[in-house]
Chain A
Amino acid sequence: MKKHTFIYWLFLLPSLLGVALFYVFPFLFSLYYATVDNLGDMRFAGLENFADTLSNPLFQQAAGNTLLFIGLCVPLGMVLALFLSICLQRMGRGRVPATLALLIPLVVPSGSIVYFWKVLFDQNGLLRKLLLQAGFSPEIVFQNSWAMGILVAVFLWKNVSYNIVLFWSGLVWIPKTYYEQMALEGAGAWRQFINVTWVYLSPTTFVVLLMSIVNSFKVFKEIYMLYGPYPSTDIYMLQHYMNNQFQSLSLPQLCSGAYILFLAVSLVLLVLFRLQKRVTDTYQ
């Protein structure tokens, strides 16, 4: 047994070394960078960088925008995905082309998607020209306050199909007999959804929620391609803050911001896991 354990560790060693080298050590080393004043003097500054970052109005703006974006995209994405997956499940003919149409944004590269949206929403884009030709002022669409709406639309269009796949895999495992039983007892579609679908889908819903939160951070590449590294402050996200700090090599500010984000996300995940456990226990 000991020999087998040794061999197991031996096979795991390269991967563990890689994880340590590229994840663990940088994670710990960035804590060091977060506690020095600058890269020149490297004097220990304690929690000063964290305090400066938290009180930085730009960081606060970025955090607020990121929260707003997550707050809009995650629930909308989940509701839309659940609705579409239920519709797809109940479709007879036309299910395959509909599924194909919904999954295409998932496999198309981000650059192509951004290009498509630029054609529509750019300053010289198609939508602007159509509005002008129709006699409307395009300014109402191209004001900075609409930029968040455009981003939410891009995110949902690209990522809702991923949630559809997850929900669909959860829906498939719900026994049909439960629906038949509810139908025999006179329950309508809504009661069936609440008492059967929602209950048995709760583990899947939790996974979709987690994945949606993770994917909402990945929208940075679309924003970057659409608006560059310095978009308007309405859509300036935490990822912009960190990317620009990295570009200007302000590592203390970057690392302190990253650690603050790490702690915030850890807290959220902890709450979600506890909530999920409580819900699961309740239904069991």
Chain B
Amino acid sequence: MKTVKPLCSLLLVLCLVFTCAGCQNEQEALYSQALSSQTDEASAQESMPESALQSSEPGDGLSGTLTIKTASYLKNSSINFLAEEFMQLHPQVKIEFDYELGEAELNSLSRTERNMRRDSYYTQLRLELASGEGDYLLYNVQEKLDLPSVSGLLEDIHEYWDSDPDIDPEEYFTPVLEAFTVGGKIPVLPFSFKYNGMYFSSSILQSLSADAGSIQSVSCDDILDWYEEARKSDPQLNLIFTSPGKDTLFAAEKPRYIDLENKTADFQSPNFIRFLERTAAVSNEDPELDPESEIGISDPELMNEKLRCLYTGADPSVTLGNFAELFGHLVTASRPAFAAQLDVGLAEMASALHPMEYVAGPYPYTSSDGKLGITSLESFALPVSCKNKDLAWAFMKHCVLPRDSVDFSHMGSRQRYTHDIPLSKTNLRNFLEDFAENGVPMMITEPRLDPMDLENTTEVLEQILSMPLVNTGAYGVDLQDYLDEYYINALTTPEQCAEKLQDRVNIWLHE
């Protein structure tokens, strides 16, 4: 015992000496590395010609690095080209992208895994915003960020929009901007948008004595009324093409029962319970389709081809052309359906003037109280913690301002500026002129737009945007578990489901 104690002390001292010596070496190495990199940067800056430090436009003053943060890698997306274009205009500016899911992960992960990664990404994002570390510009976040709760962490775009002399409010579809308002502020700036749309089988509409040409908009109640009538003669008729789920209509109907302004919800009303009962009773089965890659592909062109093959006996491998390999099985094996739901972007809006043979639409698809949902995948949000807000706003403005070309051919790419409806009226007109000249870029056919239809299309859009608009992203409360419990697992009655939805939404509204 007498010798053990001194031995242990000596051992401890030796350990401490070796550890400190090792750390010191490592620290010295790190220090010298840091010092040398700083020296390199300083000398590099000194060696840059003075002219390079000036911006390309006199008095521009834009410089620095802007990070654009988004959930998924955006291969061939217009945002990449817009960033490249902006950097060419402002050589002192560097734009970088920060993705949670890179290209390899998008290809290798399953849908569930991708959703889990996105959920953790948004949790991390909220943390960074709240702690003031969000030194970036957010792109395409509004669906998952629960805007009402983070609006204080995002800049009010109004302040930039109203004070910038380059922005002419008359040039833009301002009802769309108003729809994105949260608590009197605009936390998100979309540079394009889509609205909820629905297509129908023309023959079924005809059998119901509904004039496809005179329908202005359709509501959930209309769809269910027609469907129930049509089903009397064909009990196997599916409601939505490729059976995306019985809760498909719920998303558009949700705004009817949630009042964001007064923070009330009305899911326990008889109307909603009736809605649950009716939607649960629809036929929604496509057992021969692949659940991962075919279920839920509710494309109206494919539905049109399906009906063509059904009525004429045509061979889908012929009618689908280059898409036969990809969608041939879907067209062959899917069950006949009454409707196809697809958000209306540029091509869909323009193609309304050239109706498909067997499918009518698109029609604005509203909630039963007439609210039309709009969404934007090409939108920006500017965190309060972003350090270079001037640069961020300059880039956002660059994306929104009217432009001469609809694509990036001046940069060697045919990539279009957007596939959705641009916020700028000039940009919309440019696209419509391009459609008249080069055809509407649909998947299977490319109908040409008559120049005489240009004004008509714009007028129709203005009329549609005069409806009460709601930003679907603002109703981002997650109710999927309760809907699955009801529609898929049949564990709850409509009243129980309504009660659970009411409770959950009440909590979301008041938290």
Contact = CB atoms under 8 A, between A and B. Distances in A.
Interface string B383-417: 01000000000000000000000000000000000
Interface residues of B, number: 23
B98 interface: no
B133 to A, nearest CB: 12
B511 A250 contact: yes
Contact of B152 (A40, A58, A232, A241): A40
B168 interface: no
A169 B56 CA distance: 84
Secondary structure class of chain B's binding surface, majority of residues: helix
A41 B384 contact: yes
B507 A233 contact: yes
Interface string A16-44: 00000000000000000000011111000
Interface string A231-245: 111001000110011
A248 B146 contact: yes
A196 to B, nearest CB: 50
Given A123-B491, A249-B130, A37 B152 contact: yes
Nearest to A231: B503
A40 B154 contact: yes
Contacts of A249: 126-127, 129-130, 149-150
Contacts of B508: 230
A94 interface: no
B465 to A, nearest CB: 30
Interface string B160-178: 0000000000000000000
Contacts of B507: 58, 230, 233, 236, 240, 244
Interface residues of A, number: 26
Secondary structure class of chain A's binding surface, majority of residues: loop
Contact of B153 (A40, A57, A144, A233): A40
Contacts of A56: 510
B499 interface: yes
B203 interface: no
A248 B126 contact: yes
Contacts of B129: 39, 249
Contacts of A251: 130
A37 B183 CA distance: 14
B387 to A, nearest CB: 14
B506 interface: yes
Contacts of A124: 491
B231 interface: no
Nearest to A142: B496
Interface string A53-67: 000111100000000
Interface of B: 126-127, 129-130, 132, 146, 149-150, 152-154, 384, 485, 491, 499-500, 503-504, 506-508, 510-511
6 contacts: A58-B511, A230-B503, A233-B507, A249-B130, A249-B150, A250-B149
Given A58-B507, A236-B507, A249-B130, 20 more contacts: A37-B152, A38-B152, A39-B132, A39-B152, A40-B384, A41-B152, A41-B384, A123-B485, A230-B503, A230-B507, A232-B499, A233-B503, A236-B503, A240-B507, A244-B511, A248-B126, A248-B146, A248-B149, A248-B511, A250-B511
